Amino acid sequence: MEFSDFVAPFDAESFRTQYFGKLPVHIRGNGHGRPNLLPWSRFNEVLAITPYWNEDTLKVYFKSRAALRENYCDTADLRAGVSAPVNPAKVKALMGLGASLVANHVHRVCPEVGAVANMLEHEFAARVAANVYCSFRGVQAFQTHFDLHDVFAVQAEGEKVWRVYESRADAPVLPLPPGDEIEKWLTESRGRLLFEVHMRPGDVLYLPRGQYHDALTGSQASLHVTFGVSPATGLALFKLLETAVMQESAFRAYLPDARRRAHLQERLSTLADRIKAVMTSPAFAIDVLNHQRDLSRAPANYELPAQARSSWYSVARRASVARRDQGFAVVFDGGEIAVGAAYPTVEWILKQRLFSLDDAVARQPGVDRLELRHDLELLVRAGILVETEMQQ
């Protein structure tokens, strides 16, 4: 599925500029050909993958409260540090009482859902997780709340009434603690009702991060899939910056005694100037690009029974990757070769004696295969790498 199909009849570019990260919107499914991602029969098949489901991946809620694990899991003879496996019979008994299910990270065990999650990851340079919510007539599994990520909720079976409120938390990153006081505060701070929608199969509801909302199941059992979209935030820059300046002695040096305020202020001012130079450099922009690329995961596509033959290389000359503000380069006794976003993979390559292209690609989750091939061709021309054959 392409993103344009996912948000039809909205224009994909208009959606990105007018709604994403800004406004909630209900996208009706009438006649727009969105396939049912998870009919009841398929969800039953996914739940039957019993080794996957445990106290972490499957949650049971009753009247907005999470069930204790011993009420729906097998806890006897459980080893320390091991998540308790779900007991299907216990879960079924609780559902008979009106409990709701939340199946977490379904994209890992359901390829149809995983394909949509992967599409959204590439569309928004984000990490995406898909959870499934199963609830029954008249049930409100969760009180008014907001999420720490953007949400695309896709109605799969039955109907659900969503209420979206005018309040929106300011770029939240930390979950609120559970409890009656927090629920009361959320209800009091949610503001006026912005709109109410009756979600039917094929409908999509988009909610930007922090948007207050709640939902109530209609007259029949409901099944919907939520795709939580989490692009990188500015907080990610701190780890990237730490890595970028690790090789600079000025940052590894001891700080002046803070009681000598003038000395400390002078050092902090010097470091701040250097931080600004690093963060506005082309090299740091590459680091941000790589971080965003690494958020999206390649789909599991083994293509069996095909057995791909990979290109093999050996390292013939000593070389290393050097970081400079203007970019990255492979430095060797014959000069320098500029490399781009694949520099972490190139750095790994230069430490090997023998490697395959496929193995190199696997070392950096978001590496662009064509970019890496281009860098390898340059290294071969310089005599740093030699194409070879792997003896079977």
Q: Looking at residue 324, which CATH number applies to its domain?
A: 3.90.930.60
**188 and 261 co-located in one domain:** no
- Name the residue range of residue 77's domain: 3-231
- CA 281 to CA 326: how far, in whole Å? 6
- CA 49 to CA 182: how far, in whole Å? 36
**202 and 276 co-located in one domain:** no
In a domain, 304, yes or no: no
| 10-residue stretch averages of pLDDT, the chain, 392 residues long | 92 95 93 80 96 96 87 90 94 92 96 95 96 87 90 95 96 92 94 96 96 90 96 97 96 96 97 98 98 88 82 95 97 96 97 93 91 96 92 59
Coil, strand or helix: which one is 187?
Answer: helix
Q: What total of structural domains would you count in the chain?
A: 3
- CA 278 to CA 287: how far, in whole Å? 11
Q: Are 32 and 202 in contact (CB under 8 A)?
A: yes
**247 and 346 co-located in one domain:** no
pLDDT of residue 78: 87
Q: Are 129 and 104 in contact (CB under 8 A)?
A: yes
Residue among 334, 321, 337, 318 nearest 385 (CA): 318
In a domain, 285, yes or no: no
Cα dihedral: 225, 231, 236, 237 (round 10): 180
In a domain, 288, yes or no: no
pLDDT of residue 391: 62
pLDDT of residue 141: 64
**Residues in the chain, overall count:** 392
Residue among 24, 58, 61, 199 nearest 143 (CA): 61
Residue ending a domain, choose from 231, 261, 292: 231
**223 and 249 co-located in one domain:** no
pLDDT of residue 74: 94
**9 and 100 co-located in one domain:** yes
**227 and 247 co-located in one domain:** no
**158 and 224 co-located in one domain:** yes
Residue among 58, 33, 62, 55 nearest 46 (CA): 58
What DSSP state is assigned to residue 145?
Answer: B
In a domain, 297, yes or no: no
In a domain, 122, yes or no: yes
Integer CA distances (angstroms), 178 to 66, 149, 211, 308, 347, in order: 10, 18, 18, 50, 45
In a domain, 181, yes or no: yes
Q: Looking at residue 227, which CATH number applies to its domain?
A: 2.60.120.650
Name, in order, each residue with C-beta under 8 angstroms of 210's C-beta and a sequence gap of 6 or more. 146, 147, 148, 168, 169, 170, 171, 172
In a domain, 306, yes or no: no
**271 and 344 co-located in one domain:** no
Residue among 209, 202, 206, 207 nearest 223 (CA): 202
Name, in order, each residue with C-beta under 8 angstroms of 272's C-beta and a sequence gap of 6 or more. none
- CA 187 to CA 110: how far, in whole Å? 35
Residue among 5, 16, 9 nearest 229 (CA): 16
In a domain, 364, yes or no: yes
Helix residue ranges per DSSP H, the chain: 3-6, 12-18, 40-47, 88-96, 111-124, 180-189, 236-245, 249-252, 261-279, 282-295, 343-349, 357-363, 369-381
pLDDT of residue 32: 59
pLDDT of residue 392: 56
- CA 47 to CA 106: how far, in whole Å? 9
**252 and 198 co-located in one domain:** no
**244 and 156 co-located in one domain:** no
Residue among 368, 331, 370 nearest 347 (CA): 331
Q: Are 236 and 291 in contact (CB under 8 A)?
A: yes
**134 and 28 co-located in one domain:** yes
Dmax (CA) of the chain: 75
User: Residue with structure tokens 């029969």?
Assistant: 41
**337 and 227 co-located in one domain:** no
pLDDT of residue 197: 95
